[in-house]
Amino acid sequence: MKQVNSKRSLDRITLPDGIVAKLTSVSRRVNYKRGTLIHQAGDPTDSLCIVTLGRISGYRLDEHGKSGAAYIVGAGSAFGLFPLLAKRPRSHNCEAVEDSQIAHVGFKEIWRLIENDADVRQRIVTYLCDRLSMAYDVIDEERHLPLPKRLARRLDDFAGDDDCVRLSQQQLADQMGVSRVAIGTSIKKLSKLGFLETGYGKLILLERQKMRNFSSTPGGTERG
């Protein structure tokens, strides 16, 4: 199996490679085929999950049985740390987007590392603070930024080292809590500004730094 690589992930916050190595050294690794349901919302949280290969989608089902992706994470990303430490149930269904591998770190194992390894303890506290800060940022963006600018930020987060975003418009819409039509309209605006072009199954970022400048400026006009 391919080793963990947290240099670039579909999630914005990843644990450092050294901490991942320490955590995975006391984990059990499980392979999941594409489409496999890893756990359901409401299940007991019995492990921290670290993606070591592939991509994982977390989503909820509404009263009509419709799913919406809350997150899609790739290799190097971890999820389930807060509910594990707080002994809370899983908040999302979790499914393998493609053939994947997850390192599961149990409650006793992670607490043993936290108690005995100052570096692990510091990094985990930092990780949780970063996640909380990110949640505040997302709330602030939704209140103050127009969708094209919010989308520009997410595309920059999701793009790989090749400047490509391999997510469908529906996946982007689910992650951002808007309609697919709204995402399509925003993609057209960003394309018109010269920031990206569409390819087969992907979006290609052409002017990434200019797009960052655009998304960081205040105001609600198309050109910021």
pTM above threshold 0.75: no
What letters, b where the CB count within 10 A reaches 16 and e where it falls short, cover 175-191? bbebeeebbeebbebbe
The reported pLDDT for the residue numbered 147 is: 92
The reported pLDDT for the residue numbered 201 is: 80
Half-sphere exposure of 77 (CA within 13 A, CB side): 22
The reported pLDDT for the residue numbered 10 is: 39
The answer to whether domain 146-216 has CATH 1.10.10.10 is: yes
The reported pLDDT for the residue numbered 200 is: 83
The reported pLDDT for the residue numbered 66 is: 57
The reported pLDDT for the residue numbered 9 is: 38
The answer to whether domain 17-138 has CATH 2.60.120.10 is: yes
The reported pLDDT for the residue numbered 4 is: 35
For residue 41, give the 3-state DSSP assignment.
coil
Q: Tell me, what DSSP letter sits at residue 6?
A: -
Domain boundaries, the chain: 17-138, 146-216
* Residue 62 and residue 68 in contact, taking contact as beta carbons nearer than 8 Å: yes
The reported pLDDT for the residue numbered 3 is: 36
Per-residue pLDDT of the chain (224 residues; tens, 9 = 90+): 333 333 333 344 567 888 989 999 999 999 999 999 999 999 999 999 999 999 888 887 766 665 665 677 888 888 899 899 999 999 889 999 899 999 999 999 999 999 999 999 998 898 888 878 777 777 777 777 899 998 998 888 778 778 888 888 887 887 777 888 999 999 999 999 999 998 888 899 999 999 999 988 765 444 33
The secondary structure element, H or E, covering residue 29 is strand 28-32
